[in-house]
Amino acid sequence: MSKCLLCNSNFRREINYEKLFLFIKPTKKYTCNDCLQKFAKKKGILCLGCSKETNAKGMCSDCIRWRKIYENKMLDNRSIYQYNDVFHDLMVRYKRYGDYVLCNVLAELVDTLPEADYYVPVPSAPNHLQKRGFDTIYSIYQNLVPLTKLLVKEDTEKAQGEKNREERLLTTQTFYAIKKKNISGKIMLLDDIYTTGRTLYHAQDALLKAYPNCKINSFTISR
Ligand SMILES: [Zn+2]
Ligand SMILES: [Zn+2]
């Protein structure tokens, strides 16, 4: 028997050894089926740039704006889940209230990851790290794939999650890349939520400065 981290009920779930794209999921289960079913996977027509659910084939308005700036350096962002109330509540508990164990629930939601040579988590700012006591993105992905820390974030007054849309888009660059030897090929940026794309494009800018020949894409659990 396990205890569900979301609803506290005891549950038994069959262990699934299914081999996925790149890794075998951790066999311990943290979330009961009733809770898991409340997370909605994306379906229908998805934006070609960021996986947002859209009404027509092509790109969403965010991606059209990014394309004007980035042209052939656009991120191919994959994400799996809709940002619904259940996902929102989970993120509030995890990030705002710092409930560390919920990184296991988020990891459990990730059932596939696109292939890459390096998986680079988007880092927390040092002041947020100190306040929470853990790095939110690193913690989610730490047991799923080998992670390469290539980005550092400077202190920021407000977390992206506390900003409105306008403020997010006006955020200035706060990342810089650590120069490491022999980095080449495909880099996959990992984050939790794609909101406007601002954070991920800044992360890409910083990485391309240090590794101009790498191809950079991104993965987020929700969009
Ligand atoms: Zn549950
Ligand atoms: Zn898009």
Q: What is the pLDDT of residues 63-113, one digit of tens each?
A: 999 999 999 999 999 999 999 999 999 999 999 999 999 999 999 999 889
In the chain, count of helices (H) and strands (E)? 8, 8
Task: Tell me the one-letter amino acid at 132.
Answer: R
Distance CA 14, CA 110 (A): 18
User: Which ligand is the nearest neighbour of the Cα of 30?
Assistant: 1
Which secondary-structure segment (H or E) carries 67? helix 61-70
User: Which ligand is the nearest neighbour of the Cα of 63?
Assistant: 2
| DSSP secondary structure, 88-130, as one string | HHHHIIIIIS--GGGHHHHHHH-------SEEEEPPPPHHHHH
C-alpha R_g of the chain: 17
Distance CA 171, CA 202 (A): 9
Q: Is a pLDDT exceeding 80 seen at residue 18? A: no
End-to-end distance of the chain based on CA atoms, in angstroms? 33
Spell out which residues have Cβ within 5 A of ligand 1, the ion: 4, 6-7, 32, 35
The total of structural domains in the chain comes to 1
pLDDT tens digit sequence for 47-57: 999 999 999 99
Tokens read off for 152: 């550092």
Q: Tokens 């549950």 map to which residue?
A: 11
For residue 131, give its domain range.
Answer: 2-222
Distance between Cα 7 and ligand 2 center (Å): 33
Distance between Cα 46 and ligand 2 center (Å): 8
Distance CA 91, CA 81 (A): 13
pLDDT tens digit sequence for 147-182: 999 999 998 777 777 888 888 888 889 999 999 999
Tokens read off for 9: 């009920």
User: Which ligand is the nearest neighbour of the Cα of 59?
Assistant: 2
Where are the alpha helices (H) located in the chain, listed in sequence order?
A: 33-36, 61-70, 85-91, 103-109, 126-132, 136-141, 165-170, 198-210
User: Which ligand is the nearest neighbour of the Cα of 90?
Assistant: 1
Which residues, other chains included, contact 129 with Cβ-Cβ below 8 Å and sequence gap of 6+? 135
User: Which ligand is the nearest neighbour of the Cα of 62?
Assistant: 2
